[in-house]
Amino acid sequence: MSVLDPLSHALAAVVAGAHSGLTALGADPSAGTTWLLCIAVVVAVVRLALLPLVVRGVRQTHAAARARPHLKKIAERYRDRRDAESLRKMMAERRVVSSEHGVSRLGCLPLLLQLPIWLALYQLLADVAAGTPVGPMDAGLAASLGGATVLGVSLAGRGYLGAGGAHLAVVAGLAAVTAAVTFVTQRYLVATTIVTDDLPEAVASAQQLMPAVATVGILVAGGVVPVALLGYWLVNALWTMGQSAVVWRWFPTPGSPAALRGRA
């Protein structure tokens, strides 16, 4: 039994509920398109549930950007003072500035809370696509999803090679489109809302490499995960692009290239 089982079972209930609702509306219960729509419903439900954390994260990013110049001045003032009393005063001043600008010491908490959900969703789709029942996704539903196809390609299928040209085209197409959407999102929407002026050179360089790393990671992983999970990644990537575009357009981090663009 995994610690992620409660989350996986909750997500399985969403998939089963979406499948029941779609079939009640006349969708073919065994069709690949029906199951892909169920996966899209799961993405929508999960991402809507996480919106409060996203809003909190954006606010924390803005608060940190406003506090950064003041924190930099404090660091410069105490740069050559390493005695215990000076360090104590420096930390006290940093806490005052952080409090004034609303910077939380738990700024990374929203991201950390999301990780178990992503892992549970991966576990659910990988298990069900392999025909393993999970909670409300009983043996019949698991077998239905595992046997469903899109353009003749099984949603449970894995890998780029070994199953013919149609399989290669579908898997490579899903992976390539997902990778392209992710690259555009990271390079032109996310990266331009990050303030890198005061970051260490190594950190700034890592930020610049993130779009390429994410893109390559998706292309490599696309060859080993089930097609059903690739479908989830694509829908999730499109949601992330839309969400990032909203932040880029209306809520850019103060001092970031996206914010300066609005002033031009």
CB 175 within 8 A of CB 164: no
Chain segment 141-173, per-residue pLDDT in tens: 999 998 999 999 999 888 898 778 889 999 999
In whole angstroms, give the CA distance from residue 144 to residue 138.
Answer: 10
Contacts of 120 (CB under 8 A, 6+ apart): 4, 7, 8, 11
CA within 13 Å, CB half, 168: 5
Instruction: Assign residue 162 a region (left: φ > 0; alpha: ψ between -120 and 50; beta: otherwise).
Output: left
Give the model's confidence band at 196: pLDDT under 50 very low, under 70 low, under 90 confident, else very high.
Answer: confident
Q: Looking at residue 263, what is its pLDDT?
A: 55
What's the pLDDT tens digit per position in 2-36?
Answer: 788 899 999 999 999 999 999 999 999 999 999 99
Q: Is the pLDDT of residue 264 over 70?
A: no
The model carries a pTM of: 0.89
Q: Residue 100: is its pLDDT beyond 60? A: yes
Beta-ladder partners of 134: 137
